[in-house]
A and B are shown apart, each in its own frame.
Chain A
Amino acid sequence: MAETRLAPRSALAGLLVPGRYGRAGEPGIALAELRPAGVTAIVARAGQDAALASALGLPAGPGCVRAGAITFVWSGPGQWVAFDAGATAEARSGLAALPDAFATMTDLGGARVVLRVAGPAARRALAKLLPIDLHPSAFGPRAGAATLAAHIPVLVWLPDEAAGFHIACYRSFGAALWHAVSGAAAEFGYEVAP
């Protein structure tokens, strides 16, 4: 029997339709779903937090670090999530080759929904959802936080101002997060790119 190929499907399938929404006029926010090629949880083995962080250049506390196409986001003491935007096989294999004694790696592919919120009004929209200080002096490039967005646990990070805010939640909350974020953005006008 010919092998059926199973096709992947986003939790937000059908929800993001390209166009302009909310308040009329120039949109203040650009919204997009990011579909990383890979998501990996990295947990340091007992006593290895600092060693692992310095070996890989990982943020030692809340924040994010970009190494090529992979962004490492701190998610807890000795814990990080690596979002791979399309790294080379070489870069990925480097990560996968980490000795077990150092760190536990777990593939989280499909387990997260990631949204990008960018534009001049992004901070004001996110202030409706996130109970943390998003002012540039408190949340600038390479900042990150594990917190809540309207009752949904999220990881939020800002690689740099141009990249915009990235928000990740458990996949099952994806539609709810999209609903909350797009609702918060409507007041400022938002655009979903094709």
Chain B
Amino acid sequence: MRIPCPYCGERGNEEFLYLGSAVLERPAPDASAEAWVDYVHMRDNPRGPGAEFMQHVQGCRAWLIVRRDTLTHAILSVAPARAARGGGA
């Protein structure tokens, strides 16, 4: 699989670390135990487009949000996680 890193360009997936679902938000510290268990342990397994965290660990080390179709492996979009979540450029 080739992942188009927004900084480095298209690279082989062996340069990336895959973390998993990028759709969840870290709950507030005082949120319920259920909310925390869901965040840490429960995942949907979409057949089709989904968003995932990947880090370009053997390249620029940027964390990325990759929208990928799990059925076809088509990469729909890639964005730096930091910018997407309100960090500085």
Contact = CB atoms under 8 A, between A and B. Distances in A.
Contacts of A75: 60
A147 B3 CA distance: 13
A47 B88 CA distance: 5
Give the dominant DSSP class at B's interface.
Answer: loop
Interface residues of A, number: 17
Contact of B15 (A50, A76, A79, A147): A147
B14 A131 contact: yes
A62 B12 CA distance: 17
B60 A148 contact: no
Contacts of A148: 14-15, 58
A62 B59 CA distance: 10
A35 B14 CA distance: 30
A145 interface: yes
A183 interface: no
A47 B89 contact: yes
A33 interface: no
Contacts of B8: 62, 145-147
A76 B89 contact: no
Interface in B2-45: 7-9, 11-12, 14-15
A61 B7 contact: yes
Interface of A: 46-47, 49-50, 61-62, 75-77, 79, 131-132, 145-148, 153
20 contacts: A46-B88, A47-B88, A49-B88, A61-B7, A62-B7, A62-B9, A62-B60, A76-B7, A76-B60, A77-B60, A77-B62, A131-B12, A131-B14, A131-B15, A132-B11, A145-B8, A145-B59, A147-B8, A148-B14, A148-B15
